[in-house]
A and B are shown apart, each in its own frame.
Chain A
Amino acid sequence: MVQSAKPVPPIWCPGCGDFGLLASVKRAAADLKIPPHNLVLVGGIGCSGSIHNFLEVNGIHALHGRLLAQAIGVKLANPSLTVVAAGGDGDGYAIGMGHFMHAFKKNASILYIVMNNETYGLTKGQPSPTSQLGFEGNIEAPFDAILSALSIPVPNFIARTFSGDPKTMTQILEEAIRFNHENRGFAFVEDLSPCVTYNDTYKLWREKVLDVSKLPGYDPSDRKTMFRLYLDTLESGKIPVGVMHRPKDAAKVGLEAKLLGDAVGPARSDISIDANLTSYEKLLAAAV
């Protein structure tokens, strides 16, 4: 038995919503029997992005906003790994917005979890892209990641969870990871994870969350329906949670499957000259 890096205690404030998410990620990995050496957790920058330090896992701490590009690089290099990227709303929707929108389009089979607390906690409570009007003087409209995700016509898995409901959250995370394991593409889960210090929304969110799967006509494979249900729910003053999009078609359309098929991928390829000599000789002869 090789001793690897041991988890360190979380840096989060007592009661932070991120604890719920951490517990669900651990539970999902255990339920799906993913060994730590095959699980890569790519953390963003911010309180939530330190999550990879708190469990037994291959952790990589990405740059602010760049976790998705790094996570996609990992998956394309070694598609046998389970790759989870996790960060906050500032990391994903502000500095990382370009990579965020493109991740849906790229559709690599990785799970991206955004712990949305509607503020920049680590730097002490500035407004974030999802902050409500009036929060800390915010005069810009809040960004809605689910609506944006639904607008991109790619068969991704899209869901929202609430840290106050860990049971449903675990179920959805497991479903998302299974979606990835089947090479069906990108899975995005926004977790409503209150910041108890700078933006304690537990009570408000507990009152306002509404599970869309309970609504009449719910069909997560149909974008049009889901847009309507989502907008209707917002209009009624509620916050929609649950699975927002899940294609019926189980085809292996993940980017790694499209690019590599059954190949082992760049990280595990035998790159010795001997193993490739014939291909290299042909390449050089044809190229110049």
Chain B
Amino acid sequence: MTSPASRATPVPVESGPSESRPPLELADVSVMIGGQGGDGTLTVSDLLGRYFRKCGLYVYTSRNVLSRIRGGHADASVRASRDPISAVKPQVDVLVAFDNEAIEMGRAELSPDGFILYDSTSFHSEIPTAVGFPFATLVGGPLGQPIFKNTAAYGALSVLLGFDPAKTRQVIEERFKRRGGEALEKNLKALEIGRHAALEAPNVANRYSVVEGDAHDLILTTGNQAVALGFVVGGGRFFAGYPITPATEIMEYLQRYLPPLGGVVRQAEDELGAVNMVLGAAYAGARAMTSTSGPGLSLMTEGIGQAGTAEIPILIADCQRVGPSTGQPTRHEQSDLSHLANLGHGEYPRFIVSPATPEDCFSLTVEALNLAEKWRVPVFLLLDQALCQNTATSPRFDLSRVHVDRGRRLRSEEAASLTEYKAYRITDDGVSPYAPPGTPGLWAEITGNEHDEWGHVSVNPVNRNRMMKKRMEKMVLARDDLPPARLFGDPAAKIGFIGFGSTSGPIRESQSILAARGIPTRYFQARTVYPVPVHELDPFLKGVDVAYVVEHNYTGQFARLVREHLPWHHAKLRSILKYDGYSFRTPQILAGVKEVS
């Protein structure tokens, strides 16, 4: 491959189709940007997302990268719409390619009216509808470095999509203002180079126009960032973790957010160290969390078992990726559910809550912290790669709806009025009042061994039965405290969907498509997946003739849990499954719905 920077003179601009036509209006636009890792595809995606936000559009971006620092195919896609969206658009309107592989990879998803804009510095595409500009060469001369080709491509795109030039420029200014000086200046130059190239080329300018929207007071964020923010406002003050894709950003955000508030974030020596530091901090009375993905969760299993038996309230965010073993670190799956529901040797209570959007990530993280401390159990925040790392527009996070409930934690004055302090006292409501170490005048024994109410090790069978019952009944007693499901669609529909996590986006979009075709559906979005919400699922399943459980795994893990806990609805359940590492597109869901054909 020729080094783009070595070419001294720009090669001629290649021309696109020559017939002229009015701009094609797009109210729901999808742009895919592909190239080699390091080509800056994510930057183009970020710039487009910012531009669309300025136009009052809802935005959803996703990325497809490899587990390596540089090189290998990488792509990102940006979707913008006048209507709320939380899924990838099945067809791409414009494909931006930095190499031929990106064209080959992206073509399959291109719509029939789709347009390919590519960097022709090192190759020429034979595809008649592809228009090439030698971006790397164009910027390499004046700016000295070909790396600004991505900003030039954004400039050309802005012309193709009929962007407002002032807003287009503002986006660059906002994106690079922090880095300032030379970086900002060169990116602004690259923007103009890209714009001029596109303006001079025949039939490129204003091929499309993106319809503006009125969704202005929204934020654009990822699930991982929302979890970090929810943790902070929910009173989380201690975090320990170990770097792992796709969970690492939670730790990185908290490294910025927590220290100014007197909180602590530690990167541990491994996941064993992380979960045990979290156990120590939670025992000491801090609201504490770790975040990880499947491989880390395997290592944390012993620590989480201690949390269950010793009744230490910890929060574990599981950013699911493709498993088992190392699996596909950067790819999407929802296959840890069975593991979490059965995690560890022996039996102990645990709650698994599952948000579907960044806003939900924010509020459920707060809720999970309250649940953990109130019920003194480990709580899992069940996330998935698409939810963790894709960005989506969301209403501003509402602090007025955040509340901190510390349950039966004893304040010093309450503790002082006790006649005796048993850390594992058996109470009517199932929870022992707790005083953290340092509370004047009292102390306790805390252990993962079976113990009596004092925390003394016990092998007494009567005590064993009482203690097992004390712990396990939390799963029943907490029922009304657990996050309720959300229902969408026609409440009288006979076709149901059941899902959790980011799958909710494509499911709800499929519902709209079906409704437009005269097929009403209703959707049960589980927000507590364990204990299985039988009291919510039973009426839902009673009302439908068939329920499609849509999830990203091979064996239908949630469907199996639903069958196990509601066997009388067994015959109504069907699975729509996907485990290829990519999140659902609506046609893949619709293809699984029998009533459609």
Interface residues, chain A, with chain B CB atoms under 8 Å away: 1-6, 8, 35-40, 42, 50, 52-53, 56-63, 66, 69-78, 80-81, 98-99, 102, 259-260, 263-269, 271-273, 276-277, 279-281, 283-284, 287-288
Interface residues in B262-286 by Cβ distance below 8 A to A read 262-264, 266, 268-270, 272-274, 276-286
Contact partners of A39 in chain B: CB under 8 A: 443
Give me 19 other A-B pairs in contact (C-beta within 8 A), A59-B445, A102-B273, A266-B262 excluded. Answer: A2-B416, A6-B454, A58-B444, A63-B306, A69-B268, A69-B276, A69-B279, A70-B280, A71-B280, A72-B277, A73-B277, A73-B279, A76-B277, A77-B282, A77-B284, A77-B288, A267-B238, A267-B438, A287-B221
- In residues 237-294 of chain B, which contact A (Cβ within 8 Å)? 237-238, 240, 253, 257, 259-264, 266, 268-270, 272-274, 276-288
Min CB–CB distance A182 → chain B (angstroms): 19
- Collect the chain B residues with CB atoms within 8 Å of residue A266's CB: 237-238, 262-264, 281, 284, 286-288
User: B165 at the A/B interface (Cβ < 8 Å)?
Assistant: no
Which residues of the other chain, A, contact B310 by a CB distance below 8 angstroms?
60-61
Whether B587 is near chain A, meaning CB under 8 Å from some CB there, is no
12 contacts between A and B (CB under 8 A): A53-B445, A61-B446, A69-B279, A74-B284, A76-B238, A77-B281, A99-B269, A267-B286, A271-B237, A277-B399, A283-B232, A288-B219
Min CB distance A237 to B, Å, is 36
CB contact under 8 A between A81 and B444, given known A277-B399, A288-B220: no
- For residue A267, which residues in chain B have a CB less than 8 angstroms away from its CB? 237-238, 281, 284-286, 436, 438
Tell me the smallest distance from the CB of B457 to a CB of chain A, in Å.
7
Residues of B within 8 A of A8 (CB): 456
- A42 nearest CB neighbor, chain B only: B280
Q: Is B449 in contact with chain A by the CB < 8 A criterion?
A: yes
Judge whether B263 and A3 touch: CB under 8 Å. Answer: no
CA A99 – CA B154 in complex, angstroms? 48
Contact check, A77 vs B264: say whether CB atoms are below 8 A apart. Answer: yes
Tell whether B455 is near chain A: CB-to-CB under 8 Å.
yes
Nearest to A8 among chain B residues (CB) is: B456
Residues in chain A near residue B253, CB distance under 8 A? 287
Contact of B438 among A38, A66, A269 (CB under 8 A): A38
Chain B positions near chain A (C-beta within 8 angstroms): 219-221, 225, 229, 232-233, 235, 237-238, 240, 253, 257, 259-264, 266, 268-270, 272-274, 276-288, 302-303, 306, 310, 396-397, 399, 402-404, 415-416, 418-423, 436-449, 454-457
Asked whether, in the complex, the Cβ of A287 is within 8 Å of the Cβ of B240, the reply is: no
Contact status A98-B260, CB under 8 Å: no
Q: How far is the CA of A38 from the CA of B442 in the complex (A)?
A: 9
Contact of A77 among B219, B286, B445, B456 (CB under 8 A): B286
Query: A5 to B233, Cβ gap below 8 A?
Result: no
**With known contacts A2-B418, A58-B443, A73-B240, A37–B455 Cβ distance under 8 A:** no
Contact B281 A74 (CB under 8 A): yes
Mostly helix, strand, loop or mixed at chain B's interface?
Answer: mixed
A280 near B280: Cβ-Cβ < 8 Å: no
Chain A residues with CB below 8 A from B233, complex form: 273, 276, 280, 283-284
Closest 3 CB pairs of A and B: A73-B280, A271-B235, A69-B276
Q: How far is the CB of A109 from chain B (nearest CB, A)?
A: 14
Task: Please indicate the chain A residues that have their CB under 8 angstroms from the CB of B399 in the complex.
Answer: 273, 277, 280-281, 284
CA–CA, A40 and B445, complex, Å = 10
Q: Which of A5, A50, A66 has the most CB of B within 10 A?
A: A5
Q: How far is the CB of A38 from chain B (nearest CB, A)?
A: 6
Interfacial chain A residues near B284, Cβ < 8 Å: 40, 73-74, 77-78, 81, 266-267
The winner among A6, A77, A268, A272 for most chain B CB atoms within 10 A is A77
CA A35 to CA B442, docked complex, whole Å: 10
- Contact check, A264 vs B262: say whether CB atoms are below 8 A apart: yes
State A5–B421 Cα separation when bound (angstroms).
8
Given contacts A66-B272, A81-B438, A266-B237, contact A284 B447 (CB under 8 A): no
Asked if B445 and A5 sit within 8 Å, CB to CB, the answer is yes
**Is the CB–CB distance between B449 and A3 below 8 Å?**
no
- Kindly list chain A residues whose C-beta atoms are within 8 Å of the C-beta of B264: 76-77, 259-260, 265-266
A70–B276 touching, CB < 8 Å: yes
Contact of A37 among B260, B282, B441, B448 (CB under 8 A): B441
Which residue of chain A has the shortest Cβ distance to B422 in the bound complex? A5
How far is the CB of B367 from the nearest CB of chain A, in Å? 14
Give the distance in Å from the alpha carbon of A265 to the alpha carbon of B262 in the complex: 6
Indicate whether A2 sits within 8 Å of B420 (C-beta atoms), given known contacts A80-B438, A277-B399, A284-B229. Answer: yes
Quick check: A60 and B457 within 8 Å, CB to CB?
Answer: no
- In the complex, what distance in Å separates the CA atom of A281 from the CA atom of B232? 11
Partner of A36, one of B220, B285, B415, B443: B443
Is B283's CB under 8 angstroms from A37's CB?
A: no
Determine how close the nearest CB of chain A comes to the CB of B567; give it in whole angstroms: 37
> Which of chain B's residues has its CB closest to A276's CB?
B261
With A42-B280, A99-B272 in contact, do A4 and B421 touch (Cβ < 8 Å)? yes
CB distance from A22 to the nearest CB of B (A): 15
Chain A residue with Cβ nearest B403: A273
Residues of B within 8 A of A2 (CB): 415-416, 418-421, 441-442
Assuming the contacts A264-B262, A279-B261, asked whether A78 and B438 have C-beta atoms less than 8 A apart, the reply is yes
Task: Give every chain B residue within 8 A of A76 (Cβ-Cβ).
Answer: 238, 264, 266, 277, 280-281
Which of B263, B264, B279, B280 has the largest count of A CB atoms less than 10 A from its CB? B280
**Complexed CA–CA distance, A39 and B240 (Å):** 23
